Chain A
Amino acid sequence: MFPAPFEYVSAHSLDEALEVLESRAGEAKVLAGGQSLIPMMRFRLAQPQVLVDINPIKLLEDLHEQDDALHIGALARHATLEFSPLIQQRYPLIADVSRVVADPTVRNLGTLVGSLCHADPAGDFGSAALAAGAEVIITSSRQHRSLPVDAFFLDTFSTALEEDEIVTEVRWPKPKPRSAGAYLKIERKVGDFAIVGTAVQMALDEGGRIAEAGIGLCAVGPISLRAKQAERLLVGQSPSAELFQEVARQAARESDPTSDTRGSKEYKQDMVRVLTLRALQRAYQRIQAA
């Protein structure tokens, strides 16, 4: 299984990469970790005529906190996130996800930004980015812009990225006081796609009520989904077992899975309920423990 022939460009600066994307718009594809793109090319589901390898652009390996966000560069690997003390201490949601994406060897090359750009609804980071309210930073020779991740996912494998654009980084909101997140997923075996995954991020106010809440659902719709109504049920309320159960039932109602070899629609919806409940409990426990 070899990919169709293509031209290869090793880009050593962002300008170089953008130049190729502009001059070969529609024919070129960016290669970061390649752990989804290369299999897609091997199955000939993707047949770019030009592959722009951005791996030599060291600047894109960036991972640091600045102002109100964690800046995650386009080449920050899953493994870098997984083993980062900063992530382990301050970003439990990212830490959870980065331990369960694919398998450890794939995580050495795969990237969070690449995962979002691939826009597979079964990609773990899509739901987590929704729950956290992450922002996608986009650039081209024409313009710089940013989009909330909600506006970035358009359809299965489709994003708002134009043909000459590249995502240089994702900005992940810095943790607020009394906040935490959690990600849980069910998979048949390591490295398989998620059957269901749920991501939760929440912050409490000084009085202990829920000030902000995000719930993202993985692999239960054509894109990564935000459970909006379930989120609304949380805001302004005091955390309780009954509330979390009600929210979890609502999240299940908002999911839209299809029956396949990994399970029936009904089973998956019920697993959304179970995982949402557990993720809410875990996030809340983490807030209390902090």
Chain B
Amino acid sequence: MAVSSTQVSVHVKINGQEITKECEVRTLLAYFLREQLGLTGVHVGCDTTSCGACTVLLDGKTAIKSCTVFAPQVDGHELLTVEGLGEADHLHPIQQAFWDCHALQCGYCTPGMELAVLALLQRNPNPTDEEIRFGLSGNLCRCTGYKNIVKAVHQAAEIMNHPSTSQSVTL
């Protein structure tokens, strides 16, 4: 008989680091990441599976809304949050492209948006404008009007497809 419980130990590899942490089973992943692990780059916007601000990458490829997953569901899995995407002095090409193209204003949607972009580019390394807009339709931005985000995705794709020739712009 399977064991049921209200408290569990969650073992998960986050941004390359193995972590084991106890939590209540009803803890939503977004809150587990923010409040128990201090990964506050995971933003909670609508908290109702609509806005995508809480998007993280599951097992290196699948974008998921962490407000709509329970923490114990990721036991034994790998996660990537914006904290693991790049560093201040060494931005990920997606982050650099967002910077260069002014693809953010308030920045609230940015971490989730960037992880959704990563998943999109992994699946489709050369997306068209339409494919970008369709692929990111689960992530809402209220500042940019999306135009510069689309531009940034093209730049990121360019850099990621030709990493040796096009170096990112210096800070």
Contact = CB atoms under 8 A, between A and B. Distances in A.
B2 A11 contact: yes
Interface string A85-120: 000000000000000001111101100000000000
Contacts of A31: 70, 73
Nearest to B55: A105
Interface stretch (B59-67, B145-153, B161-169): B59-67
B78 to A, nearest CB: 15
Contacts of B19: none
A51 B24 CA distance: 13
Contacts of B25: 6-8, 51
Contacts of B116: 104-105
B138 A191 contact: yes
Nearest to B58: A108
B137 A9 contact: no
Interface in A260-282: none
A59 interface: no
A109 B58 CA distance: 11
B8 A8 contact: yes
B2 A105 contact: no
A109 B138 contact: no
B68 interface: yes
Interface string B1-42: 111111010000000000000001110100000000000000
Q: Which of B4, B28, B47, B52 has the most CB of A within 10 A?
A: B4
B68 A104 contact: no
A8 B8 CA distance: 9
A35 B2 contact: no
Interface stretch (A12-20, A145-153, A161-169): A12-20
B52 A103 contact: yes
12 contacts: A8-B4, A8-B6, A10-B72, A17-B2, A35-B68, A39-B49, A42-B28, A79-B62, A104-B138, A106-B68, A109-B62, A109-B64
Interface of A: 1-12, 16-17, 19-20, 23, 31, 34-35, 38-39, 42, 50-51, 53, 55, 79, 83, 102-106, 108-109, 190-191
Interface of B: 1-6, 8, 24-26, 28, 47-50, 52, 55, 58, 62-65, 68-70, 72-73, 75, 116, 123, 134-139
Going nearest first, the 3 A-B pairs with the smallest beta carbon separation are: A103-B138, A105-B138, A8-B25
